[in-house]
Amino acid sequence: MPIYEYRCLDCGRKSAFVTLSIKSSFTPKCKKCGSENLEKIVSRVAIFRSEESRLESLADPSKLAGLDENDPKSVARWMKKMGKEMGEDLGEDFDQVVEEAMEEGEKAEKGGKKGTEEAGEEEI
């Protein structure tokens, strides 16, 4: 059964459709806004792995390389990586939380640099 993915040109949302036959006529509609103004996109190849295999891979210590639990950006990158490793779409809420964590990390970096510079100026 082929799976086709389309991006809505009106709202930008991606939709996937399973068809029972390649020969059957099919008119895709956006699952979010109902528009028929869609473009076909190239899908990623899906490799099916058992849950046990996925969990085993997450237990690998090398997956924690570069993780700094005190850095929100580092944790956000790790969360994205683990979400992809699980092979499931964790939804827009998950992506939004990760993006917020990355922004928080950037603000903390900028604030830390400013604070260091200001402290250096006071000491002179």
Decide: 17 and 4 in contact? Cβ < 8 Å. yes
Q: Supply angle C-alpha 76, 89, 42, rounded to 5.
A: 110
Chain centroid to CA 66: how far? 18
What is the CATH class of 3-41? mainly beta
CB 100, CB 80: distance < 8 Å: no
Report the C-alpha gap between 54 and 84 in whole angstroms.
Answer: 10
Average pLDDT over residues 30-47: 85
Predicted confidence at residue 113, as pLDDT, reads: 53
Q: Is the pLDDT of residue 117 over 50?
A: no
Distance of CA 29 to CAs 13, 37, 53, 76, Å?
11, 8, 35, 33
Tokens of 17: 């459709």
Please tell me which residue, 71 or 10, carries the higher pLDDT value: 10
Better-predicted residue by pLDDT, 34 or 112: 34
pTM of the model: 0.38
Q: Where are the domains of the chain?
A: 3-41, 51-123
* pLDDT tens-digit readout, 55-78: 777 777 777 777 788 877 777 777
Helix, strand or coil for residue 36? coil
The rounded distance, in Å, linking the Cα atoms of 37 and 57 is: 40
Give the mean pLDDT of the chain.
75
